[in-house]
Structure formats: C-alpha cells, structure tokens
Amino acid sequence: MRPLGDRSVNPISWPTMTFPPQPDPPRRGRPRADQVGEVEKRILDAATTLILTQGYAKTTVDQVAAAARTGKTTLYGRFPTKPDLFAAVIRRSTAEFARAVTVGESEGSAEERLVKAGLELADVTLTRFCIDLMLVTAAESDAFPELAVEVGRVGFSQCAAAIAACLAEITTLGTLEAATPLGERFVQMALHPLYMRAFYGEDLAGLREQARIDVALVARMFFASLVTAADLLHVPSGADA
C-alpha cells in the first residue's frame, strides 16, 4: 500500500472534450444594409397577417415586432408610427390584389368568353385575403378615409378593366375606354352582391359556386341586350351572304 503522500500515483486521465463553436446570439439592433429589404418584408408580412386576421385596433407594435423577429427600434426606423405601418400594409396588399386581377385568353362564343372572364375574377376576389382587406379598410375608413377610397377605387377599377378588356375583344366596342362603362356595370351586377354576402360571413367556397350561376345569368342578360343593338356585336364572316 502506497503512503498517502506518494505522488508517484498516476493521475486519472479524463478524455478531452471539444465543443463546436456556438453561433453568436441574434442581434436585435440595426440590420446590415443587405438585410434591410428582408427585414422590411418580414415586418410587413407579420403586420399584414395580424391586421387582416384580428383588425387594426387589436394589433400592437409589440405583436408585429415579435412576429417579425425584429426589434421595435428597427420597426420604428422603417415605420415611425402605427398608422404609417397600417398604410404600408394596405398599399402593399392592394398592389398584390391588383397584380392578381387578370383575365387570360379564352376560346368559345362571345358569351362563353365573358362568363369565363367573370368567373376568373370571382375566383380571385372571393378569397379570405381580398375580403379581409376590404373589411379592415372599411372598418378604419373614418381614421383613414383617403386610404379607404384608394382601396375601393383600385379594386373596382381593376375588376372593371378586366371585364372591359374582354368586352373590347368580343364586341365592336373595340377599345378599353369604350367598353369600360359596360365592364363597370357587369362587375356591379355579377360580383358586388356576392361581396356583400361575404362581408356578412357567408362561406366563400359557397359564394364562388354561386358565382357560376350569377355570372352566367348576368352575361346572358348582357348579350340579350346587345343582340337588340346588333351593330355592337361582331358579325361572323359570311353572315351577310
């Protein structure tokens, strides 16, 4: 037995433990120049989701900053006030809506092509995003009257222009300007009643199905009146023979 003071005892050799370097914790300060666009997009994405789902009044800057994974200082650097943030959300959402409102080329009779154009609009606009955008803008129209007017104008004019473009092709109206009044009336008759029902909570999928009936009915009414004024319609080649 070795004496307690004997230092010749071999010490226990523990294995050497190595750990990978840990990344620095995320910083909540000012973003780098190459991150500015990404940060702004995250802020607007988060604010859009919150505002369209729970309304402007219930949405706080703290909620937006947390959802966007950014600091309030960064958020206020881009949008100094909550109204500024709301206006940016609505304008970006309106621009996205305007880009989505397009009507593709189609084949078939003039009436069939008009029905197809109307149904494409119904499918694009009778969505949760579009209805929520209209609802939240209307709800805040007292505080943001110019913004509400802008959203209504852009939404209606884009839909009317899409129908007018179709009418300009399938009738002898020929130009978008000449066809715009009829395009506006078509949207008012075929789609606006469905939007009103959506505002009061009716199922959007059911309303898109209802559009199959309503759009076709309005198109039939349009062409019944156009046939009375036969010079408005394209006359098929050889029809005078």
- The pLDDT tens digits for 58-70 are 999 999 999 999 9
Over residues 87-96, the pLDDT tens digits come to 999 999 999 9
In whole angstroms, give the CA distance from residue 212 to residue 190. Answer: 10
Task: Using alpha carbons, list the distances in angstroms from residue 227 to 30, 116, 183.
Answer: 65, 20, 17
**pLDDT score of 3:** 53
C-alpha 234: how far from chain center: 36
Closest CA to 90 of 42, 161, 152, 38: 152
CATH number of 33-80: 1.10.10.60
Over residues 17-31, the pLDDT tens digits come to 454 555 544 455 555
Task: Tell me: pLDDT of 239 over 80.
Answer: no
User: In 3-state terms, what secondary structure has residue 201?
Assistant: coil
* Residue 232 identity (one-letter amino acid): L
Q: 14 falls in which pLDDT band (50, 70, 90)?
A: very low
Q: Are 186 and 223 in contact (CB under 8 A)?
A: no
Predicted structure pTM score: 0.76
Over residues 169-226, the pLDDT tens digits come to 888 777 888 889 999 999 999 999 999 999 999 999 999 999 999 999 999 998 887 6
**pLDDT score of 109:** 87
Over residues 97-146, the pLDDT tens digits come to 888 887 767 778 888 999 999 999 999 999 999 999 999 999 999 999 99
